């Protein structure tokens, strides 16, 4: 990022961002906490919490009734749908809210699967989180659908694109692919994958949960039919968002109550929604848009993500170079020169992933460990028993915090 850009927009600087996140003040063992657990869920700016508490304290109601707080709830949901539409580059009536990405994907897969059976094929990938595997795998047992998993090259962290082409043959109904890997940081060329699937007549489902905090989703550019993400990964509360093409959202045979609305997007939303989280997701999108410049919210988001990407690229290079230089440390996934997010996973010889996470926590450096439900990836890396350690840089991460991470790991390596 250029000096002039940050001078004009102090909100774009890491310092300008950090003041909005009260949890960054937390101390542990006498030191300020450095949060590297963003891929599991980011910290939340005060404006998100304020919006949620304002909703609960002043507007709390169920939806759809005639009295003011219910009307306000409906208006808040509509406004949030528009914010989420701007976030994914879609339309407000194409946005479905739900508990999280996993529940939304199970729900959608069940509905789509009601029209599929023996002889039909769904293609998934070994690189994906199991939330983008299990809902489709269930259709094997429930509907007799054949599920094919595209091979991951564990050494490079990349999908085998020839294998994808080979698997996209016959009666392929759907390709389910992640925009980025939550275990390795790999960024997939979603546009190319969706184009390949489309050419065979398949519809496409994109898991943008890991990519969304790093790469602004763009359903138009991806050319996908469905996309799911989760606000708690991009500085919002715990809620999932599904975008879909209206004709599909209106026709998919999802389980629903007869008296519930039968028009999209409402027909995919089960029961009473977490209105406070819907309000919080809106505030998170507005917070991110507020970091950038532009005439529309989408333009501001595009600008903000460009600036954040530039900074996170520098952080991932620092993390990768520092960690991979340490004796006994193995880093996984694409090199920083390739398309990747600022999520770096690694192991330290002679230590379980939990030991590493505990030792770093002593230094107030918070990292996650295990398989992150990307179980197939971790199995293919040969670390099913002990898991791996994952450190993710977010919009509030500083080079100084990365130094502390590297120093903490260095103290363990030999
Ligand atoms: C890539 C990816 N997909 C799906 C999920 C599941 O998301 P949710 O917790 O919203 O169900 C996660 C959560 O970590 C993830 O990282």
SS3 326: coil
- The residues near 281 (Cβ < 8 Å, ≥ 6 apart) are 80, 83, 84, 97, 231, 236, 237, 239, 241
Length of the chain as a residue count: 414
How far from each other are the two terminal CA atoms of the chain, in whole angstroms? 36
Encode 379-404: b = buried (16+ Cβ within 10 Å), e = exposed. ebbebeebbbbbbbbbbbbbeebbeb
- The residues near 196 (Cβ < 8 Å, ≥ 6 apart) are 164, 165, 168, 175
CA–centroid distance, residue 325 to ligand 1 (Å):
30
Cα separation values, 162 from 6, 158, 175, Å: 43, 12, 15
Between 275-291 and 46-54, two packed helices, what is the crossing angle to 10 degrees?
A: 150
Q: What is the pLDDT of residue 8?
A: 53
SS3 228: strand
Backbone angles phi, psi at 145, to 5 degrees: -75, 140
Contact (CB, 8 A) for 214 and 312:
yes
Between 68-88 and 275-291, two packed helices, what is the crossing angle to 10 degrees?
A: 40
Q: Which pTM does this prediction carry? A: 0.97
CA–centroid distance, residue 208 to ligand 1 (Å):
9
CA–centroid distance, residue 95 to ligand 1 (Å):
18
HSE of 159 in the Cβ direction (CA atoms, 13 Å)? Answer: 29
Radius of gyration of the chain from Cα atoms?
Answer: 21
Q: What is the pLDDT of residue 103?
A: 98
Residue with CA at minimum distance from ligand 1 atom 12: 209
Which of 98, 102, 130, 241 has most ligand 1 atoms within 8 Å of CB, for mutation? Answer: 102
Q: What is the pLDDT of residue 195?
A: 98
Q: What is the pLDDT of residue 9?
A: 63
Backbone angles phi, psi at 320, to 5 degrees: -65, -50
CA–centroid distance, residue 363 to ligand 1 (Å):
28
Q: What is the pLDDT of residue 3?
A: 45
Q: Which domains does the chain have, with CATH numbers?
A: 3-45+297-410 (3.90.1150.10), 49-289 (3.40.640.10)
Q: Is 210 in the pocket of ligand 1 (CB under 6 A)?
A: yes
Residue with CA at minimum distance from ligand 1 atom 14: 40
> d(Cα 350, Cα 331) in Å, to the nearest integer?
15
Return the ligand 1 atom nearest residue 230 CA: 10
SS3 320: helix
Per the omega criterion (within 30 degrees of 0), is the bond before 92 cis?
A: no
Per-residue pLDDT of the chain (414 residues; tens, 9 = 90+): 444 445 456 678 999 999 999 999 999 999 999 999 999 999 999 999 999 999 999 999 999 999 999 999 999 999 999 999 999 999 999 999 999 999 999 999 999 999 999 999 999 999 999 999 999 999 999 999 999 999 999 999 999 999 999 999 989 999 999 999 999 999 999 999 999 999 999 999 999 999 999 999 999 999 999 999 999 999 999 999 999 999 999 999 999 999 999 999 999 999 999 999 999 999 999 999 999 999 999 999 999 999 999 999 999 999 999 999 999 999 999 999 999 999 999 999 999 999 999 999 999 999 999 999 999 999 999 999 999 999 999 999 999 999 999 999 999 987
Q: What is the pLDDT of residue 393?
A: 98
Cα separation values, 124 from 100, 235, 344, Å: 20, 28, 24
Q: How far is CA 77 from the centre of its chain?
A: 21
HSE of 189 in the Cβ direction (CA atoms, 13 Å)? Answer: 11
């Amino acid at each position: 990022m250029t000096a002039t850009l940050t001078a004009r927009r102090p909100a774009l600087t890491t310092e300008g961002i950090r003041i909005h996140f009260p949890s960054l003040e937390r101390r542990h063992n006498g030191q300020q906490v450095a949060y590297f657990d963003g891929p599991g869920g980011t910290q939340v700016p005060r404006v998100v919490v304020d919006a949620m508490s304002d909703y609960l304290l002043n507007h709390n109601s169920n939806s759809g009734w005639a009295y003011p707080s219910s009307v306000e709830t409906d208006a808040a949901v509509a406004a949030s749908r528009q914010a989420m539409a701007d976030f994914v580059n879609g339309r407000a009536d194409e946005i479905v809210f739900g508990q999280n990405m996993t529940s939304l994907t199970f729900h959608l897969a069940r509905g789509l699967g009601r029209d599929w059976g023996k002889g039909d094929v769904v293609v998934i990938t070994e690189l994906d989180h199991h939330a983008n595997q299990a809902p489709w795998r269930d259709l094997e047992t429930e509907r007799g659908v054949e599920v094919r998993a595209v091979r991951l090259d564990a050494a490079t962290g990349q999908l085998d694109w020839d294998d994808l082409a080979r698997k996209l043959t016959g009666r392929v109904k759907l390709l389910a692919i992640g925009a980025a890997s939550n275990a390795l940081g790999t960024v997939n060329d979603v546009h190319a994958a969706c184009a390949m699937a489309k050419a065979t007549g398949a519809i496409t489902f994109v898991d943008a949960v890991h990519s969304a905090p790093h790469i602004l989703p763009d359903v138009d550019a991806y050319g996908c039919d469905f996309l799911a993400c989760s606000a708690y990964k991009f500085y919002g509360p715990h809620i999932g968002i599904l975008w879909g093409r209206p004709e599909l959202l209106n026709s998919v045979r999802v389980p629903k109550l007869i008296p519930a609305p039968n028009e999209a997007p409402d027909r995919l939303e089960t029961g009473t929604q977490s209105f406070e989280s819907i309000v919080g997701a809106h505030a998170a999108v507005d917070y991110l848009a507020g970091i950038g410049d532009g005439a529309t919210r989408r333009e501001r988001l595009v600008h903000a993500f460009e600036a954040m990407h530039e900074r996170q690229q520098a952080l991932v290079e620092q993390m990768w170079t520092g960690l991979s230089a340490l004796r006994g440390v193995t880093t996984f996934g694409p090199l920083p020169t390739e398309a990747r997010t600022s999520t770096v996973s690694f192991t330290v010889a002679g230590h379980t992933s939990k030991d590493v996470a505990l030792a770093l926590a002593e230094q107030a450096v918070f990292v996650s460990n295990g398989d992150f439900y990307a179980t197939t990836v971790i199995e293919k890396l040969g670390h099913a028993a002990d898991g791996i350690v994952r450190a993710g840089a977010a919009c509030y991460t500083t080079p100084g915090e990365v130094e502390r991470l590297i120093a903490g790991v260095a103290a363990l390596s030999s």
